[in-house]
Amino acid sequence: MTDPGADQDRPEDERPTSTADLVAVIRELGRLTTPGAIDERRVIELGGVPQVVSVRGRDRRNPIMIIVHGGPGTPLSGTSWMWQRPLEEYFTVVQYDQRGAGRSFRLSDPDRLHDDLHLARYARDTVELAEVVRSEFGADQVTVAGHSWGTAVAVEAVLARPELFSAYLGIGQVVSVAAGERASWDWVRAEAERRGDPTAQAELDALLPYPGTGPLDLGKVITERTWVQRFGGFAAGRADGDYFTDGDLLSPDYDDDDRDSSLAGNEFHARHLLPTLNELDLTQVKSFPIPIIQFLGRHDGMTPTGPVITWLDTLQAPAVIIEWFEDSAHLPMFEEPGHFLIAVLKHLLPHAGPAGRNRV
């Protein structure tokens, strides 16, 4: 039993008040103290490009989960302190800031990245990372989870090297960018009408044809996404996602230079990769070599679930599992963290094998 008076003798000026003090509390809360724990951050060259990788888990003999972030250019490493810790009880979780994203952005000359800004290159980076961690931990296979843009990267990685992966988890799955953008516009336009918001209706109508053909128009995408967020399609029941976008302010793993790098990387991807994604289309993938698990937010207006369900209905795979998050939009691990953990343990963990040996 805790002592309600345990902190009474602590001087007022020693209690955490500044942002740095609060970050220190979060860092200490997340500190892994078990004998077999691992908590490392390192730079690994993937495809010849340095990328920041974090590895955390309470027991290095646990199964490995590689998390592929979305965006493109929006890492989860700065906000993982909000939701990842419970997963680390059951998995060794590997996150990485993709080439030109997050903390990795400042490690490369952006001009040298332009020629490799395409889905296949990002997927090969994921494959290389899987090879590294599989070898290091002595695991036969690893699991891989993708969020948003990262779902397309992870799917391509599995298709390229299925023997490396035991199961795939998609969160906010991207199937066809063009179809997804049309479905997103349809949803937000209907929501604007339901809410009787003439400003939203007019601004959305002015985007037509949306998304159009050819490269995505960044200005149109920003306008459409502004209203999607306003109407709860990013974070359900909220008019914005500020807790997500500002979450790295309290991250134990990010300092001001890291935040500046992350912001620059996001802008870099928005200018140079996002416009090319209108051609991204996974609907031609008719079979999938490993179990595929989908976590779908019922209110997701960013990657609407209609195109995902249509794809899954005809997809051939050893297992196709769908878990609905009724109170989530695009961020179920943040919005329903308890449900998220239980669903991972129910659907993904049974397909995950342990690491073959302790790391040397």
User: Closest by alpha carbon to 168, among 181, 180, 151, 183?
Assistant: 151
Mean pLDDT of 115-139: 96
Residue 86 falls inside a structural domain: yes
pLDDT tens profile 246-289:
999 999 999 999 999 999 999 999 999 999 999 999 999 999 99
Q: What percent of the chain has pLDDT over 70?
A: 94
Where do the H-state alpha helices sit in the chain?
19-30, 119-137, 149-160, 177-195, 198-205, 218-230, 242-245, 256-272, 305-314, 332-335, 337-343
Domain count for the chain: 1
- Report the DSSP pairing between strands 92-96 and 49-57: antiparallel
Residue 265 falls inside a structural domain: yes
Question: CA–CA separation, 262 vs 118, rounded Å?
Answer: 19
pLDDT tens profile 288-315:
999 999 999 999 999 999 999 999 999 9
Residue 7 falls inside a structural domain: no
Domain with 262 in it = 16-351
Residue 357 falls inside a structural domain: no
Mean pLDDT of 340-347: 98
User: Closest by alpha carbon to 165, among 113, 126, 206, 200?
Assistant: 126
The pLDDT, as a whole number, for residue 359 is 41
The pLDDT, as a whole number, for residue 360 is 31
Mean pLDDT of 97-119: 95
CATH code of the domain covering residue 268: 3.40.50.1820
Query: Does 357 have pLDDT greater than 60?
Result: no
Residue 85 falls inside a structural domain: yes
Query: Does 63 have pLDDT greater than 70?
Result: yes
